[in-house]
Each structure stands twice: as C-alpha cells, then as structure tokens.
Amino acid sequence: MKILWIDLNSSYAHASLALPALHAQVKKRNDIEWHIISATINDTPGTVTAEASRCSPDIIASTAWIFNREMLLHIISRLKVLFPESTVILGGPEFLGDNSLFLRFSPYVDCVFRGEGEEEFPHWLNYWNDRSNWNSIKGLCYINDNGEYIDNGIARVNEFEKLIVPEKSPFFNWNKPFVQLETTRGCFNTCTFCVSGSEKPVRTLEISTLRERIENISHHGIRDIRILDRTFNYNTTRAQALLSLFTEFAGKMRFHLEIHPGLLNDGLKQQLETLPDNLLHLEAGIQSLRQEVLDACHRKGDVQKSLEGLRFLCSLTNMETHADLIAGLPFYHIYQIFEDIHTLAHYNAGEIQLELLKLLPGTEMRRKAAELGIYYSPLPPYEVLKTNDITPEELQQARRLSRLLDGYYNGSPWREITRQLILSESGFLKEFLDFLTDTEVIEKPLSTEKRGMLLYDFCKIKLPQRLHEISIAWISNGMSIKKEPAFGIRTKGIRAPQKWIIKKGSYHTSMKLYLLPGKDTDTWFGYLPDKKIAVPDMIALSISK
C-alpha cells in the first residue's frame, strides 16, 4: 500500500512528532510505501497539491490542529478529487471532541482518529480498505455504509514505555533548531481548558531510557530540547532525578520545560538554585493569579503557594522563567489582567505571555461553555468572544496588550525600561496601550528603533520626567545618536571623570567616550575603536556637579 503523509507545520522551524511517532511503530512492515510532502501554512494549497499528486496513494494521512486545519482541508479536499479511490484518515487535537458534524460536512475525509495513535494506527492499517472491521479500532470515528456515525471513543497508549521512540524513524527531522521529547504522557492536573485535562493516568519513561535518547539527540548536534511533560514537577522525586540527568549535559544542551510554581518543595528549590547557568528555560504555568478563576477551571494548586514559588523562580540568576496569563477564563476581569501583569513584572518574570482563551475540541470547558457563560468562535482557533466577566471590546484590548508585551517586554531591548515604567507609573500600561492604539501602530510590525521612538513620544506627552531614562535606554541599545532621544548626548572632547561607577563592561583608555548629562547623575558611554556596532562597550555613572 502507498501512504501519502501531508506534513503541514506552522513554519519550517517546527516539526510535528506525529509522523515519526506513528511510522516508528510500523517501519518494519515491508508492504508499506511512504511518500511525505512537507509544507507550511504559508505555502499555497495548489502548489502542495501538485507536488503530492506525483504519488498515487492508497491512503492519505495527516494530523490537524488549530493553526493548520484550514490549509490542510484545502489540500486534502483537492487530493481526494484527484484520487477518489484513496482512503483519507486524519488525527490530531482537532478531533478530540464530537466528530459527527465534521465528517458529515467533510465527505472527502473517510475517518478521523481521536486520541493517542501509536498502538491503534498499526491496527487500522490491517483493515484500511475493510470498513466492516473499523468498529474494532479504538478512537476511530467514521460514517458507515448506512450513513450512521460510529464513534469508538478515545484511544490511550497502554504501554507507553514499550513504544518505539520517534527518533528511530528515518522521518524524524534532525534539521530543526530544537527537538521535542516526552518523558511522561498524561497529566495529573484537571484544567478544564486544556486537552490534557482528562489524560489519565500519567505514564513515565525510565531515566536510563531518557539518557540514551538525549545522548542520541546530542550526537546529532541538537542543542535545545523541549520537554513535552504537561507539568514537569507533578512528582517531585522524579523531577529531581530528571534535573540530575539534564545536568549531565550542561554546557552542551538546554532544556525547555513547564513547571508548576505551587509544587516546589525545599529539595527541588535547592537543586534549582545549584544548576549550571542556562541549563533550563522555564515556563511557569500561572494562567491567572486569582483563586476564584483557577477554581472555576479545576486547576489544582493554591494561588498563594504559586506566587511564592514564582517569586523564587524569577529570583534565580542561573535561568530565566516565563509566566503566562489567559484572558477569557471564567471570572477573570480585564482590570485583574492589568494587575496580574504588574505583579509578574514586580517578580521580574523573564517574559509575560498573555493569550486569549481558546475553547479546544474535547475540553471540559468547551462542553460547559453555555453553563459558564462563555461565547466562542465555532471556527479555529476557537477564541473566546465574550464571557459573563469580560466584553468583546475588553478581549480585544487584552489581545492588543499581548502585542504590547511582546514588543516591549518579551525579549525586547526595551524590557527593563518598560518594566520600570509598569512598576513606578500608575496607569502606564493602559495609557501607553491607548496611545499605541490611537496612533494605529499596535497591529503593525515595528523595528526596535521605531518602538523606542514611540515610547519616547509617549513620555514627552504623559511622562516628561522619565525622558532622561528613555534616552539612556535608547543609547544603551545602540540606537542612532542623531535622533531626538539622544539629542542631549555630548560627543566631543569628553574625558573620563575622576570617579565613576561602571555598570557594564570595563574601561579602556583607547575608548571613545560620550556623556549624557543628568540632573543628579551623568551617564558615560564607552566605545572601543574600530568597532562598527553602535551598542556601547562600557556604561558608567557619576554624580553630576
């Protein structure tokens, strides 16, 4: 049989594990001829279809999720026209809910698969052209020859530790900047907005097995591994064992993982404090800093303990911790979102990620949306439109606020000055967001320099007392000294003072010095000769006379 797999990702930096995970379980079968078409959602359906049409498949397969579904269906529907005798099977998160309407309105799809496919997909391949046996395939949903919708529930892998790992498949992509790795499957938590909220039980892999896999990944030159565990530290003993394992690869690899800040005990804290620099990149699962909101989502954990844990994580200097909030959760008001961002900035979170809630297929919150007073889009990405606690206008304000955070706080040269303004100037976030909205730039891609200029223009109007700090940030980030934020800088005949406090780098007598006078403190910028970049090599402070 010929299988045509449509490998459709959001970008070329990402690679789905679905294909290698499934192929690894059947790669020893010599009766299967695989054809793979790789593309991104930015390609055109016609181009992908034309490339795929070079194969005459018996089976067309792919996995669907919220961001590739529309494009994928355009491709699949065209391929079904070209190859009407082929059997189309789809899987992925898009089919974790009720699939009857989808199958009736998508006659070009023969069946969809709900759940974990590694054990059941090989079973289905034995009967792919014999519908009379499809009722024996757990997780398979289809319309039978009598027009009846058949739903075989959800498939769960019973022997997770016995699966052949995805890296064993020749279709595992080693050309990406990072790879994904499951050390567990399932989740101990019961969050009603998450597709993993009902994934029970939690199944684990042995540390020795993981060591072999990480060594193999390292030998392929990969330096970043994203651990796919839903909550890395649900079991403290296991989390500590994994951290010890990761430490074996210090200096060679970095591990990205999601941690629950409310589940940190003293032993785990001590271990985190002593880890080598940059071994870990942490995502702290927060969602909201309101107990009422988390209780409504059935998320386990006490807010106060989570805040204490988050404060500890953000204080660590050997790693960076990112925190996330979700607008649109039940009982979560827009003013509380602004307040929670202030709290996260106070803790010095490495990034603050604000997302709009999406009611994903198969989640408990989607099933109870009407009861909870949640209205959401029926089409991907199923974003919330309004709730009893937040209006459509406020949700759009939250979306724009997310863009502001991405542009000025998350990974931005303007992060520290933005953080200072959030903490010291009441109402700054909302007023600056209104300014960016009114000037119609919040939706546009902007350069680093343009973002800095907008912040400077805002402060000229609203916070003139902060302009000197904006100028320091402007020059420190290597922006043009010929533009207004740097107009106060002195560049000629500048000599080092007798006393200064060096805040960055070190001073060399060969340096060219610039001076930005201040009311109480002067700021000095030193540049090494023959260096083309505009970022200063040294920054120092001295008391103004």
Report the Cα–Cα distance between both ends of the chain, in Å, rounded: 84
Confidence at residue 332, expressed as pLDDT on a 0 to 100 scale: 97
Given the DSSP bridges, would you call strands 140-143 and 111-113 parallel, antiparallel or unpaired? antiparallel
The span from the CA of 119 to the CA of 525, in Å, is 62
> Which ranges in 18-140 belong to alpha helices (H)?
18-26, 45-52, 69-82, 100-105, 120-125
Q: How confident is residue 200, by pLDDT bands cut at 50, 70 and 90?
A: confident
The predicted model gives 218-240 an average pLDDT of 93
Share of the chain above pLDDT 70, in %: 99
* Neighbour-count burial of 467, counting CB atoms closer than 10 A to its CB (0-12 exposed, 13-18 middle, 19+ buried): middle
16's tokens: 């789905």
Beta strands in 328-418 (DSSP E): 351-356, 375-376, 384-386
Say if residue 381 is preceded by a cis peptide, omega within 30 of 0. Answer: yes
The span from the CA of 306 to the CA of 70, in Å, is 38
The span from the CA of 401 to the CA of 326, in Å, is 12
- What pLDDT digit, counting tens, does each position of 399-444 carry? 999 999 999 999 889 999 999 999 999 999 999 999 999 999 999 9
Confidence at residue 545, expressed as pLDDT on a 0 to 100 scale: 64
- What pLDDT digit, counting tens, does each position of 9-23 carry? 887 767 789 999 999
The predicted model gives 152-175 an average pLDDT of 94
Q: Which of 26, 319, 17 is nearest to 182 (CA)?
A: 17
The span from the CA of 308 to the CA of 237, in Å, is 20
Domains of the chain are 2-151 (3.40.50.2300), 177-390 (3.80.30.20), 412-487 (no CATH), 489-545 (no CATH)
Q: Which residues pair with 89 in a beta bridge?
A: 61, 111
Handedness of CA 527, 531, 536, 539 (dihedral sign): negative
Q: Is residue 265 predicted with pLDDT exceeding 70?
A: yes
Most confident listed range (2-11, 237-246, 492-501): 237-246
246's tokens: 């990761």
Q: Which of 383, 466, 30, 340 is nearest to 193 (CA)?
A: 383
Amino acid 257 reads: L
- The phi-psi region of residue 235 (left if phi > 0; otherwise alpha if psi is between -120 and 50; otherwise beta) is beta
